[in-house]
Amino acid sequence: MYLRFAIFISIFTVQVHAVENIRVIPPQSNYDASHNYFSELLQLSLDLTSEEYGAVEIVYSTQMEQGRALFELKRGREIDVYWAGTTIEREKELTPIRVPLVKGLLGFRVSLIRSDRINDFQKVKTLSQLQKMRACQGLHWPDSDILEYSGIPVKRGPIYELLFRQLDAGRCDFFPRGLHEAFSEIKARQHKYADMQLYSDLIIYYPFPMYFFVGPNDHQLASRIEKGLNRAIDNGTFLHHMKTHPVTSHLFPLDQWSNKDIIKLTNPFLAKDTPTHNARYWFLPNQ
């Protein structure tokens, strides 16, 4: 009897202390500052739903580029959650949590350029002028397709960190980055690429939300993350995360972006029912 009781207590203790692991990719490089923003936001959504679903710990899987990460996620291997810009195809193949992770600001792009090209970019005011410049972008990034659709030549590369080297070597003219990405990226690499600078007087805009994605059949995890993100919006911790995290704090106040030149592009790869005008999930720099 005592043995049975001891075994029961042992099993019960293991169950109480068991923590589910959620696998994500590690940072893309030692300078990948934005990774922490998204992993902390994911952890926030999981913490806000822990009473209903249980405790969860985020762990790193192996390093992989975006194409492979999406492939593994679709097949339920290697990773459980991935954050990426959305497309119609991705939303069909995976399960998107349709809460924009930077409130729609991913589609507002500033550019990393070489300092010797500053005069050239100061003259760019129209799409036809921008089409004379070549952009560096990731091999599987939807941004590459959007830029090419608009007639902007793109130099694609499979490895994130090497895109900065491509720009520095003059193999492209500019490297468009999200408002939340560019500042921390260039700050982290100033010692390595002394001639690289941020050009923020021109904003390239296309509607392009960043979502969390899970596997096509992982509906419970999708429901949990969506519920957690909406709770974070309701209790103010989502916006607080944006306003205080080092990657996004410089975006505020948003009216600092209202006097910039802007070139608007069409995003034909975005689902037509994307709620881009829902103020709960989206805001614009002039708001």
Look at residue 114 and tell me whether its pLDDT is greater than 90. yes
Strand segments, DSSP code E, in 9-134 are 20-24, 56-60, 82-85, 95-97, 108-114
Q: Determine the pLDDT at residue 11.
A: 44
pLDDT in tens, 216-242: 999 999 999 999 999 999 999 999 999
Q: Do domains 2-104+208-252 and 105-205 have the same CATH topology?
A: yes
- The gap from C-alpha 112 to its chain's centroid, in whole angstroms, comes to 17
Look at residue 208 and tell me whether its pLDDT is greater than 50. yes
Closest CA to 101 of 84, 87, 81: 84
> Is omega for the bond preceding 207 within 30 degrees of 0, making it cis?
no
Q: What would the CATH number be for the domain defined by 2-104+208-252?
A: 3.40.190.10
Confidence grade of residue 142 (pLDDT, cut at 50, 70, 90): very high
Q: Determine the pLDDT at residue 9.
A: 43
Domain boundaries, the chain: 2-104+208-252, 105-205
Distances (CA, A) of 287 to 105, 212, 252, 279: 12, 25, 11, 10
Q: Are 264 and 197 in contact (CB under 8 A)?
A: no
The predicted model scores a pTM of: 0.87
Look at residue 27 and tell me whether its pLDDT is greater than 70. yes
Q: Residues near 75 by Cβ (< 8 Å), separated by ≥ 6?
A: 215
Look at residue 12 and tell me whether its pLDDT is greater than 60. no
C-alpha triplet 214, 218, 219: angle, nearest 5°:
105
CA distance 5 to 106: 56
Average pLDDT, rounded, for the chain: 91
The larger pLDDT score, comparing residue 16 to residue 96, is at 96
Q: Determine the pLDDT at residue 277.
A: 87
Q: Which two tokens stand for residue 86?
A: 């959305």
What topology does CATH give the domain 105-205?
D-Maltodextrin-Binding Protein; domain 2 (3.40.190)
- The gap from C-alpha 114 to its chain's centroid, in whole angstroms, comes to 24
